[in-house]
Structure 1
Amino acid sequence: MLEALPEPRKKTYLHLAAQYADAETEVLILAARLYIWNGDVAAAVDRSACEVEIQLRNFMDRGFSQWNTSPPRCGSPEWLLYPMGRLADITTNKDGIALASMSEIQPGIETPTHDDYVAGLTFGQWVHLLPKPHAGERNARVVLWNDALKPNLSPYGQNSTNRRRFQGQALAVKELRNRATHRRPLVKDQNRIQNVHRDCIELLRAINPELGDWFKNQKWIPNVLATSPIPRK
């Protein structure tokens, strides 16, 4: 199995295994176990992050639709295709390309609906619509956070209405999911992975308290971390 890996990737597992085993055979066996376990961790991270992505997407879609249709805008609930005011500012990039045109529409759909466009945006694109930590109060994303998103968050989530914390947690979940999807070595990031599990809980509780509690009880990430072939530092 190890021989099938690219040399740099194989060295990562061999180097880590050599810190906990002495004999060459033991190192090889432990390295193989670490590689297999890394796949289990990646699956748990991906499953957890997918729950967050879906709920964040639906939450932001509802908030932006309500904002786009509310006075004084009185626009369409299809905010991706017909954005008003500040939504128009954040759904068109500096080259004039509309966010809707970047959505990955499933093959065979000739006339996409608003829901198709929403579902076709990536996790990263949703996180990009959240305000950056350094953004000022007049920033379009901050205005939309305050007017369209923050009012719909539950106070049950720890610091849920703190936009910097919310964006930072969403970004952390997205970045770790990307590493998991590409099967990057996660075995050295056990503390980071545990922190992302906490981030998932807090984000989901802020969006939907009952779902957040359900997610916490699933323990997908803690359960797989408990099976680590090496001690957690």
Structure 2
Amino acid sequence: MSSELPEWSRRAFSEPRLKPYLDACHGDRARAWRLYRWNIEISQAFYGSLHCLEVGLRNAVHDRLLERYGRADWWEAAPLKKHDAGKVAKARDDLRRKGVGHPTADDVVAELSFGFWVSLLSSSYDRHLWVPSLHRAFPHYAGRRSALRDNFQTMVLLRNRIMHHEPIHHRHLPADHAKIYRLLGYLEPEVVTWLQGFDRVPEILGRRPGGEGGGHA
């Protein structure tokens, strides 16, 4: 196998983008190219489980807060911090720019980011959201709120790296995968069973290019 990267790869992906892979492979261009392709494959495979986690968290939190405040646009009554209220306002503005003249509560819920929903599990909302309501969004969890929030936050960071096409090969990906399943189990165990029927992460982890960039996050 040639030790050089295909010429078109430099035009399509650029040397600076390929550099982290070259560094991980100690300058071996053939190994770096294999690792780059595998990073795309494993990122693609994680999409399904992260999709389930983000949508599951969003709906669980939304349902509990709708119940607490008695209105679908509960953010109008909840004591949101300025930063989080700003995210709601931005979601409405973004929807209008997309041509949604009168965004519904469901429109806003779908527009809000994974990070927004995780932020509602922070200590600043202990008194008004977690204790009276949000702990019930996780019927199969009995631990501390802070640990739950931290675990979700690591998944936000993984999700953002994947969606911004960044390297994830250096992470402890089997641990990330196990964490997603654990968090899904806190929300709804039956989703875990359903997801296992088509989740490709274990398969692709099993064919990682040998010896390439095997670090941890």
Please, what TM-score do these two structures have when normalized by structure 1? 0.77
Q: Which residue of 2 aligns with 1:23?
A: none
Q: Which residue of 2 aligns with 1:164?
A: 146
- Give the aligned CA root-mean-square deviation in angstroms: 2.4
1:102 to 2:90 alignment? yes
Q: Which amino acid aligns with 1:43?
A: Q
Q: Which residue of 1 aligns with 2:19?
A: 11
Q: Which amino acid aligns with 2:89?
A: S
* Identical-pair percentage: 26
Shift of residue 31, structure 1, vs aligned partner? 1.6
Q: Which residue of 1 aligns with 2:163?
A: 181
Per-residue displacement from partner, 1:162-214 (whole Å, max 9, x unpaired)? 3122211211111011111112122222x1x2222112111111111111232
1:1-233 matched pairs, under 5 angstroms: 1-4=8-11, 5-18=13-26, 27-69=28-70, 76-80=71-75, 82-83=76-77, 87=78, 89-90=79-80, 92-93=81-82, 98-103=86-91, 104-105=94-95, 107-131=98-122, 135=123, 139-155=124-140, 159-189=141-171, 191=172, 193-231=173-211, 232=214
Distance 1:163 1:55 in 2: 17
Gaps of 5+ in 2: 1-7
Per-residue displacement from partner, 1:119-138 (whole Å, max 9, x unpaired)? 1101111111211xxx3xxx
Distance 1:8 1:177 in 2: 22
Distance 2:137 2:20 in 1: 44
Contact 1:160 1:166 in 2 (8 A): no
Contact 1:124 1:174 in 2 (8 A): yes
Distance 1:195 1:121 in 2: 27
After TM superposition, the structure 1 stretch with the greater mean CA deviation from structure 2, 221-230 or 56-65, is: 221-230
Contact 2:45 2:199 in 1 (8 A): no
1:185 alignment partner, SS class: coil
Contact 1:169 1:196 in 2 (8 A): no
Higher helix share: 2
Distance 1:168 1:114 in 2: 27
Shift of residue 29, structure 1, vs aligned partner? 2.3
